[in-house]
Chain A
């Protein structure tokens, strides 16, 4: 029998459900998952290295590096004593909930906070729910203050925006107030953390927010 089935269902519906399930499972396992998204070269690994060092003793941290190829980032994280997992997406431009789940299955130690370093790209990763508890975007100062105008979805999806490489401000025409205004027009609830992972300026505000959100997730 042939029949027409009316659906009106979003194309990512199946992934959205997987993501919800993964979020619940991780909470039960006591894992707080952060999806970190940015353009290539924004300083994700430098930011993470500093964060891992600063929070040692407060949280056991794991990092899942999603790349199309190579393991250069994972080796840097390993050197700090945090557990790292390398995931290759085989050419795909984003991570989805299924890939995140299989990646996390590779965790060998009892970690509490896991950072998913998503593929360096400001478009596709914003469209697919990974199952993370919080979404965080990194924008580095040299990328320019016009990015919220060009990639609105990414700024809409994130709970926090970290602006890295603030120590380079004297050399660039980057208008921090304009960025804040543009970002808040897209997402009034977003938290914004300008910092320099190199000098350490501003790191504390971001780390306190992270620990605070982790606390909220534990009690949710």
Chain B
């Protein structure tokens, strides 16, 4: 279960963020997840819902996910196409000289946080 490890890393990074920003508690977390980042969203959310209850910093905080569509660029015909439908082969010209423009993102976009007043 790959997502379990990922959630642990998300929470570890959130602790760094909390220390840097004088955050007392996190109210919600928004992730940006690319379509081809290899993360299974249902499992990610299940693991989050399990782990958040064990950590006072994120207890009860909902996880929001923004999906980033994957787009590939063809260096032969210089057109873009959706990665998931066509993979590495360009649907316009048939070339495999292509590379991913976006879609493998996996980042914490923003958090809603309760900040200590004396900050």
Contact = CB atoms under 8 A, between A and B. Distances in A.
Contact of A11 (B1, B13, B115): B13
Interface in A1-16: 1-15
B92 to A, nearest CB: 20
B2 interface: yes
Contacts of A1: 114-115, 117
B49 to A, nearest CB: 17
Contacts of A14: 9, 12-13, 15-16
Nearest to B14: A14
Interface stretch (B54-62, B72-80, B101-109): B101-109
Interface residues on B, range: 20 to 34
Contact of B110 (A7, A11, A17): A7
Contacts of B117: 1
Interface string B1-44: 11011100110110111000101000100011000001000000
A163 to B, nearest CB: 23
A55 B66 CA distance: 51
A5 B111 CA distance: 5
A121 to B, nearest CB: 9
Contacts of A26: none
B112 interface: yes
B113 interface: yes
A179 interface: no
A128 B13 CA distance: 13
Nearest to B113: A5
Contacts of B108: 7-11, 13
A99 to B, nearest CB: 10
B113 to A, nearest CB: 6
A11 B38 contact: no
A10 B109 CA distance: 9
A21 to B, nearest CB: 13
B70 to A, nearest CB: 14
Contact of A3 (B1, B32, B113): B113
Interface of B: 1-2, 4-6, 9-10, 12-13, 15-17, 21, 23, 27, 31-32, 38, 106-115, 117
Given A11-B13, A13-B16, A96-B9, 5 more contacts: A2-B112, A2-B113, A3-B113, A5-B110, A128-B5
